[in-house]
Amino acid sequence: MKFFRAYSIEFLLMFALLAAVLFFAYLGYGLLSPQLAIAEFSGEDALAYAAAQVDAGPRATGSEASAEMVEWLTEELRGHRWRVIIQPYDVTVPAVGAGEPISDTAQMSEEMTAAAIQFSLSDMVTLRARNVIAYREPADTAEGEELPVALIVAPYDSRIIADADQSSGSTPGANIGASSAAVLLELADTLNIELSEHRICLVFLDGEHNRGVPGWQPPYGGSLFLQEANDDDEDLAECARPRLAVVLDGVGGTNHRLRQSPASDLELSRALWRTAAGLELDAQFVEGEDPPLAGVHNTFVEAGIPTVLLAEGEYPYRYTSEDTLDKLDAASLSGVGTTLKVWLESGAPRAEE
């Protein structure tokens, strides 16, 4: 008892000091940049993003589901503190597709069958397409400061017809459509922008998966995005003159094997594959080269932008009615997303740097 009385003042001072430390630590935690406490890239969360898209139904350009996707993407991205731009454009296409009329007044051609889809070019409709662009830069970026721009690109639409298996319906677009957009959404939630030292632009493109559909007319989402950005469009100026582009197009297939594309910038591609190897993901990012693929990545390459394509060239369900959610795997989504995240947070280096 005497001991306690003798040291009671010291105990009180120590208690007061501890309380002060805890109080200021609490205040300091509230002032920390949210980027410092960001979680790792989650393949499970990315898979949930993909499921939300597939559950909405086929997201063909101009459809009600596509319009709902734009609203959903915008809400998710703004919720993660990204600034969002909607880039609308119109495309004129045949009124009949996949055995069903796009408009209520369009009629099926008598020659149209599941085995040989024919389009009546005399009956055309105009559809509204929408690109969704989101961007952020490090919080300490001074006004007017020039930052290198990195474009991370994903076509989010599903093809209007499942013509690869001659189906009379549209494709669910789980891997070819939803998976790539899902990776971008999870990056929006987890990417440490401060470490990237770039302005990051997440570019969700519409209409790109209808390339090659009989009668489908340009423009396509990628070419329109680059055209307006290069024309110094006020809304898109933040994403103009990019240092690089990474295009994702089907990156969630179970046990997928990603090979380098011959169209990709060699040094950027090598850097991504080395990053994956350092993360022990070389079972996903494998050696070798895919045959040339058609797709939006060529639009960026032809514009002179150093570009990397991440796509599973051997995915057997591309543009089929079997491209369903059960073909996706959280581990595949995690491998791609984690590799991109680590590489971007390292400053998106080239292999030579």
At residue 100, the pLDDT reads 47
**Six-digit token pair at 204?**
């969700």
Burial class (CB within 10 angstroms; exposed 0-12, middle 13-18, buried 19+) of 14: exposed
Res. 326: pLDDT tops 80 = yes
From the CB of residue 148, how many other CB atoms can be counted at a distance below 10 Å? 14
Local structure of 186: helix, strand or coil: helix
Instruction: Tell me which residue range forms the domain holding 214.
Output: 37-345
Asked if residue 163 is part of any domain, the answer here is yes
Asked if residue 6 is part of any domain, the answer here is no
Asked if residue 17 is part of any domain, the answer here is no
In angstroms, the CA 190 to CA 202 distance is 13
Instruction: Provide the whole-model pTM.
Output: 0.84
Q: For 20-42, how does the pLDDT look when each residue is reduced to its tens digit (9 = 90+)?
A: 544 444 444 333 344 445 579 99
**Percentage above 90 pLDDT, the chain:** 66
Res. 72: pLDDT tops 90 = yes
Length of the chain: 353
Residue type, 335: G
Res. 346: pLDDT tops 70 = yes
Instruction: Check which CATH number belongs to the domain holding 180 and give it.
Output: 3.40.630.10
At residue 166, the pLDDT reads 73
Asked if residue 239 is part of any domain, the answer here is yes
At residue 178, the pLDDT reads 98
Residues 6+ apart with CB under 8 A from 224: 87, 89, 131
Closest to 252 in 3D by CA, of 105, 107, 49: 49
Name the helix (H) or strand (E) containing 154.
strand 149-155
Asked if residue 30 is part of any domain, the answer here is no
Beta bridge partners of 244: 150
Asked if residue 43 is part of any domain, the answer here is yes
- The total number of structural domains in the chain stands at 1
Asked if residue 9 is part of any domain, the answer here is no
Asked if residue 24 is part of any domain, the answer here is no
- pLDDT band for position 92 (cuts 50, 70, 90): confident
At residue 114, the pLDDT reads 35
